[in-house]
Structure 1
Amino acid sequence: MNKISNPVPHVPLSPSPAVSVGEGVLIMDASPVTALGIKRVLTESCGIVEPIGAVQNLASIPSAIASTLPALLIMDICGENELMLDGLRLLAHLHESHPSMKVIICTDFSDHRILELLVSSHANGILLKHEPVLALTQCVSAVMSGERQWVSPKAKRLLSKSAPSSTPLTARELDVLAYLFSGLSVSGIAKTLYRNVRTVSTHKRNAMIKLGYHNDSELYAQCTWMAKTGPAARL
């Protein structure tokens, strides 16, 4: 299998109290044109007039949030040449550090296995790009009204024959998977994350159980879909 190279480093995020309330919206999309389109929907169809910022990659999200915590983050699961797995890792870490912030995933990835992980994650909204504008409007309205999770009709159709796990992968489990796929051994991961080998082994085993893999051979033979990267930005 192709190994994942240069995973996004594990950077602890400063925790925010659960009562913290952000303001405005942050959009993350590799394409400035797509980000502009989302902003137009927010202002013209959703009535959002608060500050709306935009970044083009996952790596820019933590610093943008540290500067001004948004009430809503609308993000693709990864940017140009970034790993889908790193988007899942960031999503899990953001839920831990900023639980009051709402997160909507708007992505081109239609692989049902990726959608299953998103549904079992703490994402508040999930929809696919190129769906009608009404889908984004409905998603934003539902999420900001307090709905725990809104999934678009198209995403639901893709998931109709699958059974998403009710137990999401944790941030630590996703960290371990990313480093495993990059070629590190369990002991190497333990040194990188400053954890003991037993802890890393436990995270690895728990992640495999949740993904339905029974041994290392299955994990490495079938995990290539987790190494998908974002497409080149369309300017």
Structure 2
Amino acid sequence: MNNQLANIPAINSGSLSSGSHSWALIMDACPMTRAGLCAVLKRSLFRTGEIVMLNRASDIPSYITSNSPNIIVMDLCGENESVLQGLRSIASCQQRWPHSPIVICTTLTDIRFLYQVKLLKILSICHKHDTLQELEHCIDAAMAWSYRDSPAIQQLFDCRSSHFSVLTSREIDVLTLLFAGYSVSHTALKMQRDIRTISSHKRSAMAKLGYRNNYELFSRGKWMAKNGLFN
């Protein structure tokens, strides 16, 4: 989809005005992708509403202060963020605005990441290399509160069954500090918890992600580390 998005002219996002009844929110670190997603919404599914664009997942909960968006289309992480922050932001959105459907549009293909998203009961997941038509189908399904993943994402799910469980907010906090370079003992001090509690959270998170030891966690779990501007 990236090459196709480059050929779509950017459309200025609407500013959310007081009393606005119909609006969509796009979150992506790449300006080209944000403009392309905006164009897709404007030309096919969201002609009459406003569209607001952000570049950080952590900004979403603080931005939405009154009317909830009709749809949220987002990558898992924005500028200088990790996917752990994205998971945290999704959970916050679902808790505060349960009537706003969410579509995830990402380049990541790690099955552990995808299952964490799926376990959050996201309506639709698509890949940035999908066609614009597939993206439109995914957004259309989400706005109708119907589950639909793009064929590329569905193929990844079909290739591997999983017993993964969703990470808790505490486990996400522990992993965030560990991937930031903190040791278990320093993580315990920073979180003001007993080291045995932190170790338990770490073991539980590793089991949920299918990692058997520290080597697998830190070598294969790169999708959890901080990403750059374009993920």
Same topology, TM > 0.5: yes
Moved over 4 A (4+): 194-199
TM-score, scaled to structure 1: 0.76
Greater relative contact order (Cα 8 A, min sep 6): structure 1 or 2?
A: 1
Distance change (3 Å), C-alpha of 1:222 and 1:140? closer
Structure 1 position 224 matched with structure 2 position 222: yes
Distance change (3 Å), C-alpha of 1:97 and 1:219? same
CA distance in 2, matches of 1:60, 1:177: 21
CA distance in 2, matches of 1:211, 1:141: 31
Distance change (3 Å), C-alpha of 1:172 and 1:98? farther
Distance change (3 Å), C-alpha of 1:81 and 1:198? same
* Structure 1 residue 23 displacement after superposition: 4.9
Residue equivalent to 1:179: 177
* Structure 1 residue 178 displacement after superposition: 0.9
* Structure 1 residue 99 displacement after superposition: 3.0
* Structure 1 residue 157 displacement after superposition: 1.9
Which residue identity is paired with 1:90?
A: S
How many percent identity over aligned positions?
39
Residue equivalent to 2:77: 78
Residue equivalent to 1:110: 109
* Structure 1 residue 77 displacement after superposition: 1.1
Distance change (3 Å), C-alpha of 1:43 and 1:70? same
TM-score, scaled to structure 2: 0.77
8 Å contact 1:95–1:122 — kept in the other structure? no
Residue equivalent to 1:63: 62
Q: Give 1:49-60 correspondences, 5 Å limit.
A: 49-60=48-59
3-state SS of paired residue (2:45):
coil
Residue equivalent to 2:150: 152
Which residue identity is paired with 1:75?
A: M
Count residues in correspondence.
211
Residue equivalent to 1:125: 124
What CA deviation, in whole Å up to 9, does each residue of 1:6-62 have, x standing for no partner?
Answer: xxxxxxxxxxxxxxxx85211011223322221222122114522211111223222
Distance change (3 Å), C-alpha of 1:118 and 1:164? farther
* Structure 1 residue 65 displacement after superposition: 1.8
8 Å contact 1:89–1:175 — kept in the other structure? no
Q: Which moved more, 1:174-183 or 1:93-102?
A: 93-102
Residue equivalent to 2:35: 36
8 Å contact 2:115–2:164 — kept in the other structure? no
Q: CA RMSD in A?
A: 2.6
Distance change (3 Å), C-alpha of 1:193 and 1:31? same
3-state SS of paired residue (1:131):
coil
3-state SS of paired residue (2:64):
helix
Q: Give 1:198-217 correspondences, 5 Å limit.
A: 198-217=196-215
8 Å contact 1:82–1:230 — kept in the other structure? yes
3-state SS of paired residue (1:213):
coil
Which residue identity is paired with 2:150?
A: S
Residue equivalent to 2:134: 135
Residue equivalent to 2:4: none
* Structure 1 residue 142 displacement after superposition: 1.3
What CA deviation, in whole Å up to 9, does each residue of 1:114-152 have, x standing for no partner?
Answer: 3233223332210011322221221122112122x3211
Which residue identity is paired with 2:198?
A: V
CA distance in 1, matches of 2:228, 2:150: 21
* Structure 1 residue 75 displacement after superposition: 0.6
3-state SS of paired residue (2:58):
helix
Which residue identity is paired with 1:162?
A: R
The runs of 5 or more residues in structure 1 that have no matched partner are: 1-21
